[in-house]
A and B are shown apart, each in its own frame.
Chain A
Amino acid sequence: MTFGMKLKSWWLKLMVRLYIPAALQGMRHTLARVFRPKVTLSYPEEVHVPRKGYRGEHRLKKDELGRMKCVACLMCQTACPAECIRIDAGPSPWPDREKIPIAFTIDMLKCIYCGMCEEACPCDAIELTPTFNKVATTREEKIYDINKLLSR
């Protein structure tokens, strides 16, 4: 170890022990932070727009004739790890399928928004929308029935 290196290490140790240079460095960093862009939103005026593919609340899709696509195969209900989907099947009025759901209920409070139902669906009938704001004032409001799911 040369004398110069010793001197340098002594100087660095002194700077650490003095605490003030490090503190000043930290304060420079803090001050620089002031001018960075803000990461929060002013909520009622600015609304968070979720990225593409965000998994929000469900909806049931309709085909080009305006009929619901669901054939009540119960694949989503089976796939759901949170067991929040409940389907009651009934006879179909249309010739292209045997069953349609009479009741299709999703408990949004149980749902973990994993998207497994969307993956499982063979008819591409259920999907997760990018709805971010999921506010309700009662528990009952968050249990969505078939009409609500179809109308979304």
Chain B
Amino acid sequence: MANFLPSLPDVLKIAFCIGFFVLGITPLLVIIERRLSAFMQGRVGPNRVNIPWLQRMGGVLPGGLGQPLADVIKLLFKEDFLPASADKALYYAGPVLVLVPPALGMIVIPWGNRIGNEHLQVADLSVGVLFAMSVLSVAVYGLAFGGWASNNKFSLMGGLRASAQLVSYELALGLSIIAAIMLTAGAGPDALGTVDPREIVQRQTHGILSWNVFGGGDLKMAPFGLLAFVLFFIAALAENNRVPFDLPECEAELVGGYHTEYSGIKFSVFMMGEYVGMILMSSLMVTFFLGGWYFPGVTDPADHSVLAGLLSVAVFVTKIMTILVFYVVIRWTLPRFKYNQLMNLGWKRLVPLALANVLAIAAVGVLGGAK
């Protein structure tokens, strides 16, 4: 029985993972997105609401940090609307199924180097990649349920689009992950690739060229690594329903798509689920392609002190924040695709390219001699 009780470090790690990566970065990301998009449009953006006791600390922080908090409080007190003839159970399940899977996926992400004997990762699963992928697929149900249960034509269209889009792009996503896994194959005892996220990061800690985006230590593989990264990035955009792939919730035609009928706290849970999904996707990107918590010259993989551990977490957070800002810039730059373009891109471009990429990596690996 005692084995099932979590130890103190485990509790701390879970608290950090949920408290920071899910509940901490999300509001930060919301305010960054709103301010940044305002700047891009020549506006100032929300800069009034402050967190009261933080404001008193000399006004060092930029204004508006309390805006997401205020928004959540507002949404909490709004009417929790249930449309007539909505499927009640599925209607309630929708937002939850959007928020929980990405939060669950975060547990296999190694967000820091080892401190002492504790790996900074909630669950060290040897099949972590597969776990993250399978858990991600569940999020489709949330969108489809939300669209179906609302009993609204627009919502149903959004839900249908979401399910078709997510299923299509999951293929390209999976294939580019396979490419990343193949790139992790190294010499000697590491001759085989690995699906353990911690191990994947560990193998990318030998200089910047050992990152999978640069071929995982083999310069012959660099173009394939880069291609896999670009494919993963595009597929991740589509998986997160982000512009330019935000067809399931396009405001102009579908009035919000699958969350048209949602209001109050359920709507905010939907939105939060999307942001957590973005955080998970960028974490996966950093883990598979950009060396995880490792940055040459900043973090030393052999240093297991507390300070080095915290530094590695900081490096990881910096990396995912960079990707998330990239997401925001893309959102305010690119126009939305048409649905046929979306499907063409997914099935006729990304999937064959990702397949060819996997084959090319295998061919170069075999013909070019093992590393």
How many Å lie between the Cα of A39 and that of B230 in the bound state? 35
Chain B residues, Cβ within 8 Å of A33:
39-42
Decide if A67 is an interface residue (CB 8 Å cutoff). Answer: no
Interface of A is mostly: helix
Asked whether B334 lies within 8 Å of A23 as measured between CB atoms, the reply is yes
Asked whether B36 lies within 8 Å of A40 as measured between CB atoms, the reply is no
Decide if A31 is an interface residue (CB 8 Å cutoff). Answer: yes
Chain B residues, Cβ within 8 Å of A30:
40, 329, 332-333
Decide if B56 is an interface residue (CB 8 Å cutoff). Answer: no
Chain A residues, Cβ within 8 Å of B43:
38-40
Decide if B44 is an interface residue (CB 8 Å cutoff). Answer: yes
Interface of B is mostly: loop
Decide if A122 is an interface residue (CB 8 Å cutoff). Answer: no
What range describes how many residues of B lie at the interface?
10 to 19
How many Å lie between the Cα of A119 and that of B184 in the bound state? 81
Asked whether B47 lies within 8 Å of A29 as measured between CB atoms, the reply is no
The digit string for A31-54, where 1 denotes a CB below 8 A from any CB of B, is 101111111101000000000000
Asked whether B42 lies within 8 Å of A36 as measured between CB atoms, the reply is yes
What range describes how many residues of A lie at the interface?
10 to 19
- In the complex formed, the residue of A with least CB distance to B334 is A23
Chain B residues, Cβ within 8 Å of A31:
40, 329
How many Å lie between the Cα of A20 and that of B42 in the bound state? 25
- In the complex formed, the residue of B with least CB distance to A32 is B40
Q: Which of B47, B230, B334 has the most CB of A within 10 A?
A: B334
Decide if A27 is an interface residue (CB 8 Å cutoff). Answer: yes
Chain B residues, Cβ within 8 Å of A23:
330, 333-334
Q: A33-B39, A36-B42, A38-B39 are in contact. List 4 more A-B contacts (CB 8 A).
A: A33-B40, A38-B43, A38-B44, A40-B44
The list of the 10 closest CB pairs from A to B, nearest first, reads: A39-B42, A34-B39, A30-B333, A26-B333, A33-B40, A27-B333, A40-B43, A27-B329, A30-B40, A38-B44
14 sampled A-B residue pairs with Cβ under 8 A: A20-B230, A23-B334, A26-B334, A29-B333, A30-B329, A30-B333, A31-B329, A33-B39, A33-B40, A33-B42, A34-B40, A35-B39, A38-B42, A38-B43
